Structure 1
């Protein structure tokens, strides 16, 4: 049986995580937050003091990647993410862990270690996969492919609001610099660089609200899944 797959790729802060969750609820599909996997791996390697020794300890790091103890616990208040039994839902959304994830994602051997784990999420009745290379590398067979982008300035402003809402201090100039550096690293990496799939539906959310983008997405997805 063919499993319907919807991919949403795009840079950090474009709103793809929020929209992926809304789409998964709307279609009653499974959800894959691939960015969370990289953040979890980055955090796990950081805790083990292995990030600075990637070259020398690559085999060990890949083994850790393949055997991460991760649980996604769904509740009305949102999805809780556990790493080795510890609730790291808020921790992995910090800028620091985002930078760790971007570094991990640039290593081909670590990407390969997480590849099959991501593909295993494609189960009935369907999947919404959110990430950087869902359509180009992980699920090229997806029926509906969306690339969600936004200007670096608008993404920085959103990120500041998000962090402040979590009670964290945030300076927009620092956030903007981090986003621009991450974009450059993600788009320039050798392994599955961030880019739209050739047949992706590209949406720029810079001047759009969540509901507006959601309506554009569902109209496109409904057409693609009906074919």
Structure 2
């Protein structure tokens, strides 16, 4: 059986970590978990009137398939429930078990390298300027049929950054041993290539 190999990829919203994580997982044949979907799924249920802690404790796989997970409202709800310690605790074991599965895994989120998997064999912190990230998120939302304006999206991105970096429990920050990749001026192929190079170097150790 192949020994577990965990890749932790953190970063703010719309920096490209999801796309990079999927590409890294595919390249190395690893399982992939977008941990943000867990919080988005809890956020959906909170918006429907549920207590977020109870929602986190009773989350099921089908919750991760909701068509509303990528909406702007749910993104904000996810950021709000993510500051609740009991919600984070309820989702912790699920993420750690996934990370150490046989054959290895790539997890992306906000606190993978610092809290969820501090012993991960490879750690990346993927970032970009707020303006670049807002432009990407705007294009993504419009592609999905959501009509909004750049200034609105930029304000949302900055508000989410503020919440994520200043929350008391597991704030967004690079792990001390993470390699930072700034995608502000990189196209996706270059960003993926940079990430694959980092992981390949760690796997060779």
TM bin (shorter chain)? over 0.9
TM-score normalised per structure 2: 0.95
Q: CA deviation at 1:175?
A: 0.1
1:193-215 Cα offsets, whole Å, 9 max, x none, are 00000000001100101100111
Alignment of 1:134-213 (within 5 A): 134-213=112-191
Secondary structure of the residue aligned to 2:8 is strand
Aligned length: 203
Structure 1: unaligned runs, 5 residues or longer: 51-60, 71-81
* 1:113 matched residue in structure 2: 90
1:6 paired to 2:7: yes
* 1:25 matched residue in structure 2: 26
Q: CA deviation at 1:49?
A: 4.5
Equivalent-residue separation in structure 2 for 1:45 and 1:170 (angstroms) = 23
Q: CA deviation at 1:63?
A: 3.6
* 2:204 matched residue in structure 1: 226
Secondary structure of the residue aligned to 1:198 is coil
* 1:40 matched residue in structure 2: 41
Secondary structure of the residue aligned to 1:106 is coil
Equivalent-residue separation in structure 1 for 2:16 and 2:148 (angstroms) = 18
TM-score normalised per structure 1: 0.86
Structure 2: unaligned runs, 5 residues or longer: none
* 2:53 matched residue in structure 1: 62
Q: CA deviation at 1:2?
A: 3.9
Spell out structure 1 runs of 4+ moving beyond 3 A.
none
RMSD: 1.4
Q: CA deviation at 1:91?
A: 1.0
* 1:83 matched residue in structure 2: 63
